[in-house]
Structure 1
Amino acid sequence: MKKIALFWILTVLVSYAGVADCTKIFEERKDELRREIEQIDEARQSFEALKAASNALFTRQEEALEKKRNEIELLEKNLNEKELNVQAKLDENQKILELINEAKENRLVETYSKMRDNAAAQILQAMDRKEAASIFFALPPKKVSQIMAKMEPQIASEITSLLKAGPPF
């Protein structure tokens, strides 16, 4: 019986030591898991803070981009309006220039129409052939023939060739 009692005492001691070791191991593992959970929680909080900061930065950048887009659209609209205004003024100035040129030409034609044929012939044959042709083109045909009759044949021939080709001279 001593043997049984001894065996039983040893078994109790071994099992108590095993329980103590298991409890100790479980406590250590529990502490280790708590530390890991704390690290995971800290990492999650850091991630959430980074995510919030990134979202805030993205939102600010998106707002700045939208503001720039609006500014560009406004500038483009203003530029288009100015371009239309410039084009309108350019068209208006072109019409005025055409009227001025027409008035100058009419006055010049009127002047040569009222001149004597000999005087007009002398002046026109001394001019550049293209300028003379443009003046002849505007004169009535009867006046052209009278002036050309008074010109040197070579010069009259050159001007006639230009008139035949037609404007612009």
Structure 2
Amino acid sequence: MIKLFLAIFFTLTSLNALETSNKLFECTEIFKARKSELLVELERIDEQKQSLSALKTATEELLVKREAKASQDEAAVKAKLGEISSKEESIKKILQKNEEILKEIKAIKMSKTAETFAKMKAANAADVLSKMESQDAATILSSLKPKTVGTILSKMDAKKASELTLILAK
């Protein structure tokens, strides 16, 4: 009976070992298949990593080029702005000189006009000034001596004289 028991035990153990061996073989096959899948996936990941690295490098180079271009453009704009500012200052100076010259010319012209009216007889000056625009006549009168202005206004039409007096008073 012990022999039978041992025979059954060895048989069962053998069957169990055989079954375990089959399962180990299946597991090994599954692991081999999974290993090849993982190797393919690892290769794909490596390719993507290389592509990403190349893209990163290209992007960095492009960024450096764009920054250099932006710096050049900024420098050009600053240079143009400086040039424009200097031209603007030059134009302002010329304009100021022209205004000063124009004032001098107007002063000389007004001086000569006032001198002419001061030499005229009061009646003749009143007649001429009455026919002029009120503002122009007032400008001429303002350059004359007060005594001369009074004499001319007294020879003028009262309405025109009052209008010129109001303009002179301003």
Q: Identify the TM-score tier after normalising by the shorter chain.
A: 0.7 to 0.9
- RMSD (Å) for aligned C-alpha atoms: 2.3
Hey, what does 2:41 align to over in structure 1? 36
Distance 1:162-1:23 versus aligned 2 partners, 3 A rule: closer
Instruction: Give the equivalent residue in structure 2 for 1:64.
Output: 69
Once the two structures are aligned, what percentage of the paired residues are identical? 33
Residues of 1 paired with 2:39 and 2:90: CA distance? 75
Which aligned pairs between 1:1-169 and structure 2 lie closer than 5 A? 3=7, 6-7=11-12, 10-11=15-16, 13-165=18-170
Distance 2:158 2:64 in 1: 86
Comparing 48-57 and 99-108, the one that deviates more: 48-57
Q: Aligned-pair distance for 1:124? A: 1.5
Structure 1 residue 98 displacement after superposition: 0.8
Residue identity matched to 2:159: Q
How much has 1:11 moved relative to structure 2? 4.9
- Over 3 Å counting, the alpha-carbon distance change for 1:111 and 1:23 in structure 2 is same
1:111 offset after TM fit, Å? 0.9
Higher mean displacement: 69-78 or 36-45: 69-78
CA separation of 1:102 and 1:12: change in aligned 2, threshold 3 A: same
CA apart distance, 1:7 = 4.9
Q: Unmatched 5+ residue regions in structure 2? A: none
Structure 1: segments with no counterpart, 5+ residues:
none
Partners of 2:32 and 2:121 in 1: CA distance: 132
Structure 1: distance between partners of 2:42 and 2:149: 111
Q: How has the CA–CA distance of structure 1 residues 13 and 108 changed in structure 2, closer, same or farther, with 3 Å as cutoff? A: same
